[in-house]
Structure 1
Amino acid sequence: MALIVTTCPHCLSEKMTMNCIGGRGIGSMVANLLFECGGCRLPVAAQAIDHGQRANNIAGLNLNLSDEKHVQIAVWPQLTMSSAPKHVPPRVAAVYISALNSTRKASDADEGARHVAGLALGKALEMGLRAYDPTVKGMLAARITALAKQGKLPGDLADWCQQLRAIRNEATHEDDALSMEDLDNFAKAIETIFMHLFTMPGMLLELQGKQVP
């Protein structure tokens, strides 16, 4: 059967062997194929153009879709790399991206991976708030309160940060890991906060012709 060895666009597992679980030939040389990631079990679709074999006989296909000399291939979904919002400090961005990748690699069936992802997202939030104003000291709750009192965090955003802090504490101290839905919402919330703290001020400086620190 056909197979492909590639990085999974869902869970980011590298050099993952994906076996073909179905397909249909189009004409004599083109085949639409469906693969399953050996890690996360999510589907990956591909269209292959095989030179010299009968694509209309799916059961008889023996395509090495990793061999570009024999097969032209398009794969969906395309692999996209995680990224941080613009103007987030490099160290914070690196931790945030690593946390996003941990979230993408997690699954409902893997509680350990979900636990790691929750811890990583909490670390990214904490580092982001520390980088925003290094002069504010104390535990995360105290820093959020201080930033709000100084007018550096709007009230609604400060309340949201406190809610995320509670989620971080749950990820750190509770036995049960966060669900995939909670992890996805956690990541999206951090992205929104980083855009407020770093992206929008940086864009304003750019519009004013000033250098972004």
Structure 2
Amino acid sequence: MSPTFRVGQSFPLMCPHCEKPALATVTSEAVGGGDTEPPYLLELVQCGTCHDPFLMVEEDYGQGWDGDPGVLWPPQKRPLSIHVPQDLRREHEEALQCFKSKAYTATAVMVRRTLEGVCSDQGMSSGTGRPKPLVKMLAQLKDEGKLDGRLLEWAQELRVLGNEGAHFTGRGVSREDAADGLALAEAILDYLYVLTAQFTNFKDRRAKAKQDGASSK
């Protein structure tokens, strides 16, 4: 396999460490695969801003390297499941972009908007004649069995964090609180739209298997 000679080349990207636009330089490379899997090119890259290294990978599916290397290390945040409604994925993604821009107060506000979107999607805001407070919509989710006690506690804390971000108090939201808010909001989305559906499908499949087994006797 021919060498690529990319060592020393630089290109612009968003650094996965410092999360800033940077000019990154390939410091070393290695090629693998080619027998039972497509050839892949590993590139050790160094950020020109924070100088931390990271590992990128490209693959060749018969038309040369794809030219779109992905970050292999450090691990990147996984995207939300497609089972989460698009509007909610968009709200969460905007919260994530605020976090990457170090706008932590804005992150908290967007997390709260995501919770409001969840309540609206679950039908908690309908039939009241006027907007229902988020605290009551979250409680209604628990009353209807859609959130358990621990998840409701998480959601209420995120609501409070969002309130602190939305009103001027002279204090900003910390990076740690914003990061935890994102993670907890994602856990709630996964619980409501991914794990709940997966468990329902699991139970239905098990019940059908038992029914089929009983009818074959």
Q: Secondary structure at the match of 2:121?
A: helix
Partner of residue 168, structure 1: 162
Q: TM-score when scaled to structure 1? A: 0.62
Q: Deviations over 1:10-37 (max 9, x none)?
A: 46555x32479xx79xxxxxxx976335
Partner of residue 181, structure 1: 176
Unaligned runs of at least 5 residues, structure 2: 1-7, 29-42, 57-63, 206-217
1:156 maps to which of 150, 169, 180: 150
* Structure 1 Cα separation of the partners of residues 70 and 197 of structure 2: 38
* Structure 2 Cα separation of the partners of residues 74 and 204 of structure 1: 32
User: 2:47 is aligned with what amino acid?
Assistant: E
Q: TM-score when scaled to structure 2? A: 0.61
User: 2:138 is aligned with what amino acid?
Assistant: I
User: 2:193 is aligned with what amino acid?
Assistant: F
Asked if 1:5 is matched to 2:16, the reply is no
User: 2:181 is aligned with what amino acid?
Assistant: F
Compute the displacement of 1:104 (Å). 2.5
* Structure 2 Cα separation of the partners of residues 46 and 191 of structure 1: 26
* Structure 1 Cα separation of the partners of residues 89 and 151 of structure 2: 20
Unaligned runs of at least 5 residues, structure 1: 25-31, 48-67, 107-112
Partner of residue 123, structure 1: 113
Q: Using CA pairs below 8 Å that are at least 6 residues apart, which structure has the higher relative contact order?
A: 1
Compute the displacement of 1:123 (Å). 1.3
Question: Residues 3, 79 of structure 1: CA spacing in aligned structure 2 closer, same or farther, 3 A cutoff?
Answer: farther
Partner of residue 54, structure 1: none
* Structure 2 Cα separation of the partners of residues 179 and 161 of structure 1: 18
> What is the CA RMSD across the aligned residues, in angstroms?
3.6
* Structure 1 Cα separation of the partners of residues 196 and 93 of structure 2: 21
Q: Deviations over 1:133-180 (max 9, x none)?
A: 345550101111222233332222222211111111112113322111
Compute the displacement of 1:191 (Å). 1.2
* Structure 2 Cα separation of the partners of residues 90 and 188 of structure 1: 18
Compute the displacement of 1:45 (Å). 3.7
User: 1:153 is aligned with what amino acid?
Assistant: L
User: 2:14 is aligned with what amino acid?
Assistant: T
Partner of residue 88, structure 1: 84
Equivalent residues of 2:119, 2:125 under 8 A apart:
no
The residue correspondences of 1:22-171 to structure 2 (distance < 5 A) are 35-38=46-49, 41=50, 43-45=52-54, 77=73, 80=76, 83-106=79-102, 113-136=103-126, 138-171=132-165
* Structure 2 Cα separation of the partners of residues 80 and 74 of structure 1: 10
* Structure 2 Cα separation of the partners of residues 37 and 179 of structure 1: 27
Question: Residues 157, 42 of structure 1: CA spacing in aligned structure 2 closer, same or farther, 3 A cutoff?
Answer: farther
Partner of residue 190, structure 1: 185
Aligned residues between the structures: 170
